[in-house]
Structure 1
Amino acid sequence: MDRENTLRTIIATLQDLGFVVDKADGTLGTVSATKLDQYALRMTVTVRPRGQNQMLVRANAQYNIRAVEDPEPYQRFFDALAQAMFLTAHQVD
């Protein structure tokens, strides 16, 4: 999967998880989104090439001005992203 498709899948995944995309920059390979569900959780996801055939995806979450150290929001995001990327790669709707 190329960078553009990876970014599109990330945006769809964040939206599926209840986030509102604040900013997406295809040139930089970043997506920032906010989820308002009892508290404001902001997640920024970065995509960059890793070798010839791979993309490296990094996610950072913040609650107010503090980094989120609880692994649960990250795990939920990456589980959903893995499933979405599998479905996209196999062209399943």
Structure 2
Amino acid sequence: MRKAGKIIASLSLLAFIVGCETIPKDALTLSPESLADRQMQTRKYETKDEAKILTACAGLLQDMGFNIDESETKLGVITASKRRSAVNAGQQVVAVFVALLGGGYMPTDKDQIMRASIVTRPVGELKEYMAVRVTFQRIVRDENGKITKQETLNDPEIYQKFFDKLSKAIFLEAQEI
């Protein structure tokens, strides 16, 4: 029993110390860039049929070379990924020069995992629209398997192309083509 009392006292002290940490006032404040990013990543479609939207999204992702990792229709969520080369010729040249100048071995980027996440939700006064938000990320690994970059892709052209293709896919899905 003594040992259990010490463990409980230690856990209580730890909880007290952790609980005393203050949260910065702006911790939950979104930056102006966050709103702009969310607008770039979201489109609204005039339909209530979330299942057809998700089917079109999944088909489009597969057409783009992604593998569907998870899909939950009831929650309106799809996650997908694909692996691609991340070899960069400029990085390779620098690594060779470093080695030739006696700087030793410099690992270079080898591959990357591209991820796509889609979330849908009904919007509008009568829930007559379906909002679709997509985000693209990439994780780059070097020859040793170490992560060298993790980033969200924020190129507006990527999102515009995705939503142009999605609009066509939704049309085809609605026409049952």
Please indicate the TM-score interval, normalised by the length of the shorter structure. 0.7 to 0.9
Q: Is residue 128 of structure 2 the alignment partner of residue 43 of structure 1?
A: no
Cα distance per residue 1:4-42 (max 9 Å; x no partner): 111111101100111100001112211000122333210
Relative to structure 1, the CA distance from residue 81 to residue 61 in structure 2 (aligned partners, 3 Å threshold; closer, same or farther) is: same
Q: Deviations over 1:19-74 (max 9, x none)?
A: 10000111221100012233321010100001232100001111112111122332
Greater relative contact order (CA < 8 Å, ≥ 6 in sequence)? 1
Asked if the contact 2:56/2:166 (under 8 Å) is kept, the reply is yes
Contact 2:67 2:80 in 1 (8 A): yes
Alignment partner, residue 130 of structure 2 = 55
> Residue type of the partner of 1:6?
I
Where is the strand percentage greater, Structure 1 or Structure 2? 1
Structure 1 unaligned regions, length at least 5? none
TM-score by length of 2: 0.48
TM-score normalised by the chain length of structure 1: 0.87
1:9 paired residue number: 56
Provide the rounded CA distance (Å) in 2 between the counterparts of 1:75 and 1:14. 14
After the TM superposition, which parts of structure 1 deviate over 3 Å for at least 4 consecutive aligned residues? none
Question: CA RMSD, aligned part only?
Answer: 1.4
Q: Which has the larger radius of gyration?
A: 2
Q: C-alpha distance in 2, partners of 1:20/1:73?
A: 18
Structure 2, gaps ≥5 residues long: 1-46, 86-111, 140-149
Corresponding residue SS for 2:65: coil
Q: Does 1:23 align with 2:53?
A: no
- Aligned letter for 1:59? V
Greater helix share, structure number: 2
**Aligned-partner Cα distance in 1 for 2:130–2:136:** 20
Q: How many aligned residue pairs are there? A: 92
The one-letter amino acid paired with 1:82 is S
In structure 2, the residue matched to 1:73 is 158
